[in-house]
A and B are shown apart, each in its own frame.
Chain A
């Protein structure tokens, strides 16, 4: 629920409650006043009738109400002693309305000429249901008269007032720290929004600064590592070329070299990943996937053979618009991953049909999909693996919006849906 409707709904509910309570109080106060006034009138009429009856005894013979609105009936002394002045609500047939209508009735006794008489004075009473109806109608109009303008005012005025806020919100929704789209704040003379604008601008700048410096840090660290790595590798290679080294010494050197090579690969992968994520691979060309798959599987033939893996390929060409190096890296990493993790004697099946690449390889237990594409995932312990291969794959598929999926159907199945004509997100420069 929007903020402005939220406040309005509260306002409407409270108003409804207040008006209802007020209406009840008003109604009973009003009714009380009416009774008071009518009863006063009846009392006055009683006095007048008694006075008049004292002077004109013909009045005493009036057993029916008729047009005068009272009746007098003689009663016994005993009965008269039991009676007091009472006001009661009753009803009476009204000629004009043609029905029983409410009346107010004053019953009293008086003494005239030594005889007791029972006097009843009636007057037409307000019809309570009509009063309630009229009141309810009036209140509904009042309620609508207050709530509607508030609603309209809110929707027109508040909408205008909150405009910078919603603008900010829609920009925040689209904000991605890795895209170079900045949040543009709008000038506003509302204090709170101005504060929000400033806070937002500051937060954005801080985040971008941290993000950029981290990005550069990874890149620079990787770059700076390359030279010392190279020096170390070459020194060890030089040492290994010395004559008369024992097997034991060579084994130590070999292990050191292997680990330096591993560090080199890790470093290269990190650099590659940061380059992909920084969108440094610009430009697309038509890439024939079938050809690439052929070339890569050819390179892996010896390894597959060595591990006794049966490698079957069933492809139909698919031409994709993307950076050729990235296409190569994507396919290479997927196939390498399959070769690397298939147990000896297992099988790998690569199929490309209608631009849907499916790579199936044997494996005995399912992997956790969410972790599979994350960096340094350790579900597959392998001393030589950098743990970055599939993150690189994911980064490339994300860049081109290719859908990648993993399933376990008695074997590992990775699918990549290539989109034929795809324009990657706008690159910087």
Chain B
């Protein structure tokens, strides 16, 4: 899978590149409108991570040109300008998703994965880790072909952790993903722990070869046994 990051802010660009390289993607970068235009003229990408405010032009006009040319590269707008207008404009112009800065790694990873999954051929709606497989269409979890009964939030948690397997998932990112962006300001995310506890029990009871580890104070990590 080949990705292009169009981002003028060096720190941001490096972070994203590093993260996505760890996920074994081929990652290229462009720092402004013109270099992005050049790269896009030569190569096709599976997913383009596009900033809106760029030197030399806006990400939106770049998107417009891509769509005019009939390109099918998935586009994820990653922008600091999370005003609704930009979001609506971006999605109307044919962007596939929109992620506002600042974001957590886990969220970016999940968004990219979901875009690529949507784009790829059939069969990729199943996420498999060891003897655990998650069907993202039916929203079901199977361990060794046996279905595990999950409620809506448990499903959302395990999906997020499976997508970000072996990565540290920040508890805020997890809460925002499962309970919505607006979950902010709750006095603590301790309530997530009881959900995780239920999940762990279900995974253990069905002899799943994955486990959810708590990483001191920061969040959780799903690892293979």
Contacts and interface: CB of A to CB of B under 8 A. Distances in A.
A188 interface: no
Contacts of A230: 12, 15, 80, 101-103
Interface stretch (B26-34, B117-125, B165-173, B200-208): B165-173
A385 B11 CA distance: 29
A381 to B, nearest CB: 11
Given A226-B82, A230-B15, A250-B218, 15 more contacts: A228-B11, A234-B16, A238-B18, A240-B218, A241-B168, A257-B172, A265-B184, A268-B184, A302-B195, A328-B182, A336-B182, A336-B186, A382-B187, A384-B186, A384-B187
Interface residues of A, number: 51
Interface in A269-310: 271, 275, 280-281, 299, 302-303, 305-307
B215 A240 contact: yes
Q: Is the interface of A mostly helix, strand, loop or mixed?
A: helix
Given A247-B216, A302-B194, A237 B11 contact: no
Interface string B150-177: 0001000000000000011010100000
Contact of A255 (B18, B81, B217): B217
A281 B18 CA distance: 37
Interface in A300-328: 302-303, 305-307, 325, 328
Interface in A165-216: none
Contacts of A254: 216-218
Contacts of A258: 172
A233, A268, A280: which has the most chain B beta carbons within 10 Å? A233
B70 interface: no
A417 B99 CA distance: 35
B218 A280 contact: no
Interface in B1-39: 9, 11-12, 15-16, 18-19
Interface string A383-413: 0111001000000000000000000000000
B188 interface: yes
Given A250-B216, A280-B85, A264 B102 contact: yes
A384 B85 CA distance: 29
B196 to A, nearest CB: 11
Interface residues of B, number: 42
Contacts of B16: 234
A233 B104 contact: yes
Contacts of A152: none
Contacts of B182: 328-329, 332, 336
A240 B168 contact: yes
A161 interface: no
22 contacts: A226-B80, A226-B100, A227-B11, A228-B11, A230-B15, A233-B102, A233-B104, A234-B104, A241-B168, A250-B218, A251-B217, A254-B216, A254-B217, A255-B217, A257-B172, A257-B218, A302-B179, A305-B194, A332-B182, A340-B185, A382-B187, A385-B185
A229 interface: yes
Nearest to B172: A261
B191 interface: yes
Contacts of A268: 82, 184
Contacts of B215: 240, 250
Given A241-B167, A255-B217, A299-B180, A223 B186 contact: no
A342 to B, nearest CB: 10
B2 to A, nearest CB: 22
A255 B101 CA distance: 20
Given A240-B215, A250-B216, A253-B218, A340 B84 contact: no
Contacts of A261: 170, 172, 184
B217 to A, nearest CB: 3
A231 interface: yes
A278 to B, nearest CB: 10
Contacts of B187: 340, 382, 384-385
A358 interface: no
A375 interface: no
A257 B19 CA distance: 17
A204 to B, nearest CB: 28
A350 interface: no
